[in-house]
Amino acid sequence: MISPDIYLERMLSIVQEAGGIALDLIQHSDPGLKKDHSIITLADKAISTLVRERLHDFLQDPQHILIDEEDGGSAEYLDQERLDRTSFIWALDPIDGTRLYANRMPLFGVSIGLIKDLKPWLGVVYFSRTMVFLPFLPAGAAMGLSTRMTNTRKSGPCIMGPGSWKNF
CB half-sphere exposure, 51, CA atoms < 13 A: 30
Total domains in the chain come to: 1
CATH number for the domain spanning 154: value is 3.30.540.10
Which residues form the domain of 155? 4-167
Tens-place pLDDT, residues 6-64: 999 999 999 999 999 999 999 998 999 988 888 999 999 999 999 999 999 999 999 99
pLDDT of residue 74 exceeding 70: no
Q: How many CA atoms lie within 13 A of 160 on its CB side?
A: 20
**Which whole number is the average pLDDT over 142-157?**
41
Pairing relationship of beta strands 64-68 and 109-116 according to DSSP bridges = unpaired
Give the whole-angstrom CA distance, residue 58 versus residue 26: 29
